[in-house]
Amino acid sequence: MNYLFDINEDKSVEVEDSYWETSISIAWNLFFTPGHCLEIRAFHQAKPLAGFYDDFERFSDTVKHLSGLCEGIFVTQNPVPRALLSLYPKNTMNGSYRTSKGGIQCNIFDGHISTTGDDDIELETSLVIDVDPIRKAGISATDDELRKAKEVAAHIMYFLDCRLIPNYLACSANGWHVVLLCDPQKVTHETVINRKNLLRMLAEKFNTDEVEVDQKVYNLARIIKLYGTISKKGRCDVESNRLHRISYITKQLEYDRFNFHSEFANDYNKIKAEKVSQFNSRPNKRYDIEALLSASRLSYRKKKEGLWELEDCPAAPGGHKSWDARVTQDPSGAVGFSCFHNRCSEFTWRDFKDYLQRQLNVEVREYMK
Ligand SMILES: [Zn+2]
């Protein structure tokens, strides 16, 4: 039996299908760029199979054939240059080992199987934000873990919505994707830095003790779980609710593309500036954030280690009371202030410190120990 996490029911339900056709074709439409190709990568008994595709029918047939036979099936999220179509017979899967393939149709080659490298990618068309429950490697997530991760994904989507950045939710089987799409942008040195910064910023704002934004998946050739296929991580165990689920992307009438990096230019600069101030900050000194917030008589709650939420946002006093403002301190002692609201995005730690000193007459330095 296969499973699918149903958003409306907020739990996994049994399904008979071993693939989800609509999601496979949406994935093709979102990630295939005419004049380029897509790589399918699948893992069978922990060994890779790869194939380069420029034909939707062949792509779809291959994916349907592989789903359920392989542990996981993945696809490239940015356009792969056509040159890679010549690596193997195009629109077919290829493997490099001769052990049992369990009935998988693929060509066998001796030696190492070549896949898409980061340097191969010339255009950026998407960034898939990966939101996963923290759990032991190699096992499937439970419904409870998926619900907690969905909550974090919803916060990220709200944050993006406030900035009018189109974003789409997908279930990766064991976590969630928030998919950002843009018109093809030529890759430059900045592209990779921007992708890294965006994931870092989202991780700092939204990670909890149980759920995290994966900061390692910024690279351009990064493969993502292919929507519409089954993920078979570990044993499918109904009793412990660790299930083999079909991934899928939520269906929309249209998927909009938007130059999301340009929207974050200020934030990226802020990250650079914070890095400098972190470098200059006095080593071995940290703020006692809770003592500081208590002395300031701000209503706060500790969300997790290094993250406190404020009920009333100091960037917009009286404007919104919804626990959307946050104070952070990382293990190095670097501090930060942020708020989900668009109009508060310019308000930094420095502004927050000024506010405490000038408006609330708190001597901030006294809380550094
Ligand atoms: Zn605010």
Residue 138: band (very low, low, confident or very high) from pLDDT cuts 50, 70, 90: confident
Spacing, Cα 331 to ligand 1 middle (Å)? 25
Fold of the 2-262 domain: DNA primase, PRIM domain (3.90.920)
Half-sphere exposure of 108 toward its Cβ, with a 13 Å CA cutoff?
7
In eight-state DSSP terms, residue 76 is E
Taking only the tens place, the pLDDT of each residue in 34-81 is 999 999 999 998 889 999 999 999 999 999 999 989 999 999 999 999
Tally Cβ neighbours within 10 Å of residue 248: 25
The model carries a pTM of: 0.78
Going from the Cα of 347 to the center of ligand 1, the distance in angstroms, rounded, reads 8
Instruction: Give the residue-averaged pLDDT of 348-365.
Output: 90
**For 17-21, 130-134, 342-346, which range has the lowest pLDDT when averaged over its residues?**
342-346
Distance 339 CA to ligand 1 centre (A): 5
Ligand 1 centroid–CA 325 distance in Å is 6
3-class state of residue 350 by DSSP: helix
How far CA 356 is from CA of 173, 288, 347, 361, 364, in Å, comes to 45, 14, 13, 6, 7
The fold for domain 281-367 equals TATA-Binding Protein (3.30.310)
Does residue 348 have a pLDDT over 90? no
Distance 350 CA to ligand 1 centre (A): 15
pLDDT per position as a tens digit, 87-137: 999 999 999 877 656 688 899 888 888 999 999 999 999 999 999 999 988
pLDDT at 51: 97
Report CA(322)–ligand 1 centroid distance (Å).
Answer: 9
Cα(307) to centroid of ligand 1, in Å? 16
Cα–Cα distance between 289 and 307 in angstroms, integer? 9
Q: 361 CB contacts (<8 Å, ≥6 apart)?
A: none
Instruction: Give the span between the Cα atoms of 179 and 83, in whole angstroms.
Output: 27
**Residue 22 predicted with pLDDT over 80:** yes
**How many angstroms is it from 281 CA to the middle of ligand 1?**
26
Q: To the nearest whole number, what is the mean pLDDT of the chain? A: 91
Residue 52 is predicted with a pLDDT of 98
The secondary structure of 125-191 as a DSSP string is: EEEEEEEEE---TTSPPPHHHHHHHHHHHHHHHHHHHHTT---EEEE-SSSEEEEEEEEEEE--HHH
Four-CA torsion 220, 224, 228, 231, nearest 10 degrees: 170
Distance 61 CA to ligand 1 centre (A): 49
Going from the Cα of 323 to the center of ligand 1, the distance in angstroms, rounded, reads: 9
CA of 317 to the centre of ligand 1 (A): 8
Rounded distance, CA 97 to CA 91, Å? Answer: 19
d(CA 176, CA 166): 16
311 Cα: distance to centroid of ligand 1 (angstroms)? 10
Evaluate whether 54 touches 66 at the Cβ level (below 8 Å): no
Distance 310 CA to ligand 1 centre (A): 10
pLDDT given for residue 151 in this prediction: 95
CA 342 / ligand 1 centre spacing (Å): 8
Instruction: Check residue 197 and give its pLDDT.
Output: 92
Q: Taking the CA of residue 187 as centre, how many other CA atoms within 13 Å lie in the half-sphere pointing to its CB? A: 20
Indicate the pLDDT class of residue 315, thresholds 50, 70 and 90: confident
- Cα-to-centroid distance, 321 and ligand 1 (Å): 9
* 342 in Cβ contact with 266 (< 8 Å): no
Closest CA to 142 of 243, 1, 231: 243
Average pLDDT over residues 9-18: 94
Tens of pLDDT, residue by residue over 218-254, are: 999 999 999 999 999 888 999 999 999 999 999 999 9
pLDDT digits (tens, 9 = 90+) for 277-291: 555 556 667 899 999
Strands of 173-314, DSSP E: 176-186, 211-213, 223-225, 230-231, 245-246, 248-249, 300-304, 307-310
- Ligand 1 centroid to Cα of residue 192, in Å, is 29
The confidence score (pLDDT) of residue 322 equals 79
Distance 198 CA to ligand 1 centre (A): 20
Q: What is the pLDDT of residues 182-204, one digit of tens each?
A: 999 999 988 999 999 999 999 98
Query: What is the CA(316)–ligand 1 centre distance, in A?
Result: 5
d(CA 322, CA 317): 12
Residues of the chain with CATH 3.30.310: 281-367
